[in-house]
Every structure is written in C-alpha cells, then in structure tokens.
Structure 1
C-alpha cells in the first residue's frame, strides 16, 4: 500500500507539473495578445485547456501567473543561449584572473556565435508570442518587464557590451559602447519586432534552410563591420 500511495503522489505531482507548464506557456501568448487587463482568467484557463481553479491553485491568481509567465519567458530565451553565455562568461573570468584583455578576433567570434543563434531564433514561429509579450512590456513596463529585463535582457546586453567594447577597444561601461551595443542589438531584434516588414522586403514566405543560411551570413557581417570605421582611419 505504501508503494501505491507513493506512486499516486508521484502521478499527481507530474500532472501538476504538466498543468503548470500549460498555463505558463499559454499565458505568455494570451497576455501578449490582450495585455494584463484583457487577459481574463477564463481566457487564460481555456487557452491552456485547464480548469479555471488551476490559476489560483498554482499561482495564487492572475497577477501571480503574469509574473511567473514573465520569469518563464526569460528562462526559455535563456535556455537557447545559456551554453554560449556560460562559456563566454567563463572565458572573461579566466582573462580577468590573468589581468588580460580579450582579443578583437576572439570577441568577434563569440559575438558572431550569439548573434547567429539569436537571429535564427527570432524568425522562428516559437518567438512570436514572446515578442508580443515583451513589446507590450516595453511600451508600458510593469513588474513583468523588470523580471524579463533582470533575468535575461540585462545580462545578455551587458555581455554584448563587453564583447563590443573588446572589439572597439573602448570601455564597456562608457556611454559610447552602451549606445553602440543598443544599436547593434536593435539590428538583430528587427527580425522579430518588424517580422512582417522583413519578410515583405525580402519576399520570403517562410524561413527554410536557405533563408536561415542567409540570415546567419548576415549576422556574421553585422559583427564583421563593427569597428570598420576605426580600421579605415588607422
């Protein structure tokens, strides 16, 4: 009987995990489409295919689900670049311990890897609901924005600042590098935030293997031209 009881408890826990995951994934899309006020608990529950009472049971209410969805979104995006980010931060730590600076060539290599991965991610259908959620939070920031920014956006931008600072041989904390980094990030984000215009201009119906290869080459070019003006002047 004890084994059966343990088995039943495990099954309930697994079902609970599945229900929670359904709500989190659906909530990103629903909050992105309708905003916090327009996303009723009924819409949220129906989109996830779960009982209405699951929202207060797992998250304490709609606000708790909203914040949890933001954190879940940050973790999803982070999972796509987490290995690269960890490797680059480890490399920076090694260099810091040696009192050394990352070379321009190495910084370009790391930045290219990140941007190539991100640009492919941004044209994927998977990122559509993420973009709606994040764009709403950019326009009218709430606690959800602070969670997304703090958990994924700020760490990624700060790492890009260090890499771009190494490429341009300038202080990553300087206003100049902050602005260059934001402009650079924007040149990649356009593939999601202006998705329709990008496809219309390129006359693409979808992003298949050929299109993804083109985007990855373009991403490498974006990195390659960083600092080109300094090279011409020297």
Structure 2
C-alpha cells in the first residue's frame, strides 16, 4: 500500500531545510516523469534553484536523493499500523484507520499523483527500491491487516481465504490511487472535493464490512 504523509502544521524551516525540501520535490517531479536513469542531478539542481553541491551535501549522490524521494514522502508503515492494527479496535474503527491512511493523501493533489507515478515507474524500471518497499513497507501492513481480519472473522491462523480477503480489502483503497485518472474521466465528481473524498472513506468502510461479513457467512455455511 502506498500512503503519502498527510499534511501537518510545521514550524518555519531553516534555509537548509528549505533547500533540501526543494530538492526533494524537484527530484520527485523529474524522477516521476523521466525515471531514474534519464534524470540528471544538474536538471534537479536547476529545477530546485540550487546547485550540485547541495545534492551531494544532503543526499550524497543521485541514488541517495532518489532513495529519499521514494521513502521520505510517504508515511512509515509503523504509523499506519498503529492507526488500524490495535487489538482493542472494533472492525469498523480498524477499517476507518486503514482507509484514512489512503484517503487523506488524495487531498494533496499533485504531490500524491507524482508519488504514485514514481512508484509505478519504479515497478517498470526497477532500481531495487520496489522490492525493499514490498519487504519493509507493504508486507508489514498486509500482515497487520491479516491479523485484524483473523480477529474479526474468528480464526486463529490465516489461511488462503483470509489472505485473499486482506488483498481485496486493501484494494478498495489502493485503487483510488492507481485508478485515479480513470475515475476522474468516468465520474469526476467522486474525487472533486475534500467532502467527496471523505464520502469515499465512509463508503469504503461500509463495503469492506460487507466483505468481511460475507466471508464469515461463507465459513459458517461450509462448516
């Protein structure tokens, strides 16, 4: 799952912090559009209004900058798991926590779009970071969701059907990112405003609850 850090109030940044952030955002736009291999550090420095020495100072080299862009602009899996993985949470609250992490970034507009493009490009033109993202980011979140579903379906250990259910529950939210341009073309009102995105949150929780209920019923009927 791909989750971009929700916007948070920040204290005024120093000149160094501002320079580093400009480099991150300039690099994000160029890497997302052109890929790692076709993007030069000179292009990034020019787009950020800084110099090549700043890239070396803050990130070491182009690979270090790419890595920072890929990982720093998304929330840590631990933060996301804390939002939905608590054993004390009801199913509805757990699902709300899961989907908040997917809905809120959509309100950031172009930043989230560029991050999604970067991840898609990394899958097509791998540098090795996508495998790391799966192992250290997506896998822990999937396993936490599986635990939630086991608890609420009433099984001690996950089987293939719980794994399948977890993929489907997550897919409801992930598709809003992966298929954003398609949704905007087919039904633009669904993503047009923050209120419309909030409505997605309520609907995704409702749909996911129905999926979990269907799996519980399937298990009862098959004994």
Q: TM-score range by the shorter chain?
A: 0.7 to 0.9
In structure 2, relative to structure 1, the CA distance for the partners of 1:48 and 1:134 (3 Å cut) is same
Contact 1:23/1:44 (<8 A) preserved = yes
Question: Normalised by the size of structure 1, how large is the TM-score?
Answer: 0.74
Question: Normalised by the size of structure 2, how large is the TM-score?
Answer: 0.77
Q: Work out the CA distance in 1 between the residues paired with 2:124 and 2:157.
A: 27
Q: How many matched pairs?
A: 206
Q: Work out the CA distance in 2 between the residues paired with 1:49 and 1:205.
A: 37
Residue deviations 1:123-148, cap 9 Å, x none? 64131111011112233433322443
Contact 1:29/1:132 (<8 A) preserved = no
Contact 1:108/1:163 (<8 A) preserved = no
Q: CA deviation at 1:151?
A: 4.3
Query: 5+ unaligned residues in a row in structure 2: which ranges?
Result: 1-12
SS of the aligned residue for 2:30 comes to helix
Q: 2:71 aligns to what? A: 71
Match of residue 149, structure 1, among 128, 134, 150: 134
1:171-182 to 2 correspondence within 5 Å? 173-182=158-167
Q: Name the Cα RMSD after superposition.
A: 2.8
Q: CA deviation at 1:121?
A: 2.2
1:133-212 to 2 correspondence within 5 Å? 133-170=118-155, 173-204=158-189, 207-212=192-197
Q: Work out the CA distance in 2 between the residues paired with 1:154 and 1:170.
A: 20
Residue deviations 1:15-74, cap 9 Å, x none? 33322222123222221111111111122112222112222232222112112222213x
Query: 5+ unaligned residues in a row in structure 1: which ranges?
Result: 1-12, 93-101
SS of the aligned residue for 1:33 comes to helix
Whether 1:219 and 2:204 are equivalent positions in the alignment is yes
In structure 2, relative to structure 1, the CA distance for the partners of 1:122 and 1:161 (3 Å cut) is farther
Q: 2:8 aligns to what? A: none
Residue deviations 1:99-133, cap 9 Å, x none? xxx6xx71332122321441242364131111011
Contact 2:45/2:52 (<8 A) preserved = yes
Q: Which has the larger radius of gyration?
A: 1
Q: Work out the CA distance in 2 between the residues paired with 1:225 and 1:56.
A: 51
Q: Work out the CA distance in 2 between the residues paired with 1:52 and 1:152.
A: 31
Contact 2:28/2:69 (<8 A) preserved = yes
